[in-house]
Amino acid sequence: MLQFEGWKKLLVLFVILLGVIFALPNLSSNQDDMLADGSDGSVFGFLPGKHINLGLDLQGGSHLLLRVDMDVVEQERLDSIGETIRQEFRNEKIRFAGLKVDGKAVKVTIRNAEDASKAKTTFNDLGNGLTINSDALDYAISFSEGGLTELQSNTIAQSIEIIRRRLDPEGTKEPVIQRQGIDRVLVQLPGVDDPEAVKRLLGRTAKLTFQLVDMRITPQEAIERGRVPPGSILLPSDNEDGRSFVVEKRVMVSGEMLENATASFDQNNQPAVSFQLDSAGAKRFGRVTGANIGRPFAIILDGKVVSAPTIQSQIFGSGQITGNFTVAETNELSLILRAGALPAPLIVMEERSIGPGLGADSIEAGKIAAIVGLCLVIIYMVLSYGTFGILADMALLVNVILIIAALSALQATLTLPGIAGIVLTMGMAVDANVLIFERIREELKRGRSVMAAIDGGYQRAISTIVDSNLTTLFAASFLYIFGSGPIKGFAVTLGIGIATSMFTAVMVTRLFIVLWLEHKKPNKLVL
């Protein structure tokens, strides 16, 4: 056992060296100077490792768990299916009644039994993923399981893309945006100064449409009568002036046709958003405006009318949206429009935002606690075990270096509880050494020779060390599985700490002891 073969010595030294190499990048102070691949331009640049990945609670940032409101998406799709059915039935001259969206289905009744087969063809042409139920001439069309799942996946994928474009338009911030479960998206944005701005950016669906104002009826009449002509809808104004507008449901131009949107000023120097349409959009816009000169059209954002200018002349590619905007609002709105409309509203289910001030303070506090803790433990070990205590302390330092190296190399996230985990590990790591030393003491008391005592001590202690550390590892594993965010970080550091402590206690301390023995060759040992 004390035959610590040459190759084993080399292996341990090699691991220690690796540890130092991977831990070193953390000494270079400014993380902001990091280049894209995690290295920096300084002398540390040639080292393979990277900085530790700091959690949001240490570098500051926003953590948001968002739910995609699938109900809204489903309703919109059903609405659109309803309108398609209306058009097709008109074209096919199928008479119908009671076409409406009721709950989770589109319902319609066919007037003539002979039209049933034509109607069925229309329904089938609507596409896959739908279930068609019929009761005599009453039909109900809804989404099938498969159809709904596909709708969810597509919506979430699209939402993730739009979120990314809104939060990180230049691709520099490295946010984490991932799907969670069926209908949730996790967003983690580091280094955020204003969490409210993030929520504002994600709060608007930003569905932009241009629709013609329905001139057949005034808004007041529609409110009085309580209904609007078919194919139209009553919408409120965005300006909080209590006005309403009756607009056609048919969309002339939608936000998808926008090629660009920028913040600008109108002729009265009021903030406005200038936009440019792509070629398809420009053509359509030109056609509609050309055919409707003198008529007003409504610019609608998220179901509210922002403004309703009258068409003065044929417009093609570009225009301006004016309204009751501040400059900040036009900046945000143009960014959102450029990024694109969210397919569904995002609802914030959980938020944790840490300002950078608190983050930096937490790091400071963590560092101090770690250093003080380390010193206390070191002193205590020396007082209790003398020379062997010093050797154990050297192993403890190696342990800390290995933990930092492992965290850096794996790019695992270090959180504030994670720092507590490291400090805790320092206290518990000594345990393995203590077990060994106590055994050695016992062996010496029994009168064994120095070599035999050390040998025996290691042999007996190892199984205990493995047992006790493994059980702590279980606790850490379940914390990792069921935890989230900072708690996960704690579990990771605890787990890594246990692994490195086992390694250092068994291999590294032994190496130091063997080296010391070979150097001193004592025939008596007072432990």
Partner 1 sequence: MRLKLVKNDTNFDFLKLQKMTMVLSIFLVLASIGLFATVGLNLGIDFKGGILLEARNNTGPADISKVRNDLDTLKLGDVSLQGFGTETDVLIRIQRQEGDEKAQIAAIKAVTDILGSDFDIRRTEFVGPTVGAELAEKGVLAVICALMAILVYIWFRFEWQFSIAAILALSHDVLTTIGLFSLTSFEFNLATVAAILTIAGYSINDTVVVFDRVRENLRRYKSYEQRDILNRSLNETLSRTVMTSVTTLLALTAIVIFGGAVLRDFALAMIWGVVIGTYSSVFIAVGMLSRFDLKRVDQDDDGVEVPEYER
Our CA dihedral for 239, 242, 246, 251, rounded to 10 degrees, sits at 20
DSSP state of 310: B
Cβ nearer to partner 1, comparing 215 with 368: 368
Among 424, 451, 514, 517, contact with partner 1 (rule: CB under 8 A) = 424
Q: Which range of residues in 246-254, 260-268, 378-386, 405-413 is near partner 1 by CB under 8 A?
A: 378-386
Q: How many residues bind partner 1 (CB under 8 A)?
A: 78
Cβ nearer to partner 1, comparing 353 with 413: 353
Cβ nearer to partner 1, comparing 235 with 444: 444
Among 105, 277, 381, 440, contact with partner 1 (rule: CB under 8 A) = 381
Q: How far apart are the first and last CA of the chain?
A: 20
**Residue 150 CA: distances (Å) to CA of 101, 179, 347, 418:** 21, 14, 21, 39
Bridging pattern class, strands 61-68 and 346-354: antiparallel
Q: Which residues contact 36 (CB under 8 A, 6 or more apart)?
A: none
Among 420, 502, 506, 511, contact with partner 1 (rule: CB under 8 A) = 420
DSSP state of 258: E
**Residue 29 CA: distances (Å) to CA of 38, 51, 431:** 13, 10, 33
Bridging pattern class, strands 413-414 and 53-54: parallel
Q: Which range of residues in 122-130, 227-235, 293-301, 370-378 is near partner 1 by CB under 8 A?
A: 370-378
How far is 334 from 348, CA to CA, in rounded Å?
23
DSSP state of 45: G
Cβ nearer to partner 1, comparing 191 with 373: 373
In terms of C-beta density within 10 A (0-12 exposed, 13-18 middle, 19 or more buried), how is residue 373 classed? middle
Answer yes or no whether residue 354 interacts with partner 1 by CB under 8 A: yes
Cβ nearer to partner 1, comparing 229 with 427: 427
Beta bridge partners of 261: 275
Cβ nearer to partner 1, comparing 282 with 436: 436
Answer yes or no whether residue 54 interacts with partner 1 by CB under 8 A: no
- Provide the token pair at 345: 């509203």
Residues 59-88 that bind partner 1 (CB under 8 A): 65, 67
Shortest CB 355 distance to partner 1, Å: 5
Among 383, 520, 521, 523, contact with partner 1 (rule: CB under 8 A) = 383
Cβ nearer to partner 1, comparing 316 with 480: 480
Q: Please report, as a single letter, which amino acid is at residue 284.
A: R
Residues 273-312 that bind partner 1 (CB under 8 A): none
Shortest CB 331 distance to partner 1, Å: 19
The total number of residues written for the chain in this structure: 527
Residues 447-506 that bind partner 1 (CB under 8 A): 448, 452, 456, 459-460, 463-464, 467-479, 481-484, 486-487, 490-491, 494
Cβ nearer to partner 1, comparing 101 with 461: 461
Among 4, 265, 316, 380, contact with partner 1 (rule: CB under 8 A) = 380
Residues 195-254 that bind partner 1 (CB under 8 A): 195-196, 199, 203
Answer yes or no whether residue 391 interacts with partner 1 by CB under 8 A: no
Among 21, 72, 358, 409, contact with partner 1 (rule: CB under 8 A) = 358
How far is 28 from 44, CA to CA, in rounded Å?
7
Q: Measuring CA to CA, which residue among 402, 396, 366 is closest to residue 381?
A: 396
Q: Which range of residues in 153-161, 212-220, 329-337, 432-440 is near partner 1 by CB under 8 A?
A: 432-440
Answer yes or no whether residue 17 interacts with partner 1 by CB under 8 A: no
Q: Measuring CA to CA, which residue among 481, 496, 377 is closest to residue 431?
A: 377
Shortest CB 139 distance to partner 1, Å: 34
Answer yes or no whether residue 373 interacts with partner 1 by CB under 8 A: yes
Cβ nearer to partner 1, comparing 99 with 424: 424
How far is 75 from 78, CA to CA, in rounded Å?
5
Distance from chain centroid for Cα 11: 40
Shortest CB 430 distance to partner 1, Å: 5
How far is 228 from 163, CA to CA, in rounded Å?
36
Answer yes or no whether residue 342 interacts with partner 1 by CB under 8 A: no
Among 167, 228, 308, 416, contact with partner 1 (rule: CB under 8 A) = 416
Shortest CB 474 distance to partner 1, Å: 4
Q: Measuring CA to CA, which residue among 497, 527, 506, 370 is closest to residue 428?
A: 497
Shortest CB 461 distance to partner 1, Å: 9
How far is 414 from 418, CA to CA, in rounded Å?
6
- 109-129 core/surface letters (b: 16 or more CB in 10 A; e: else): ebeeeebeebbeebbeeeeee
Shortest CB 497 distance to partner 1, Å: 11
Among 353, 399, 413, 493, contact with partner 1 (rule: CB under 8 A) = 353
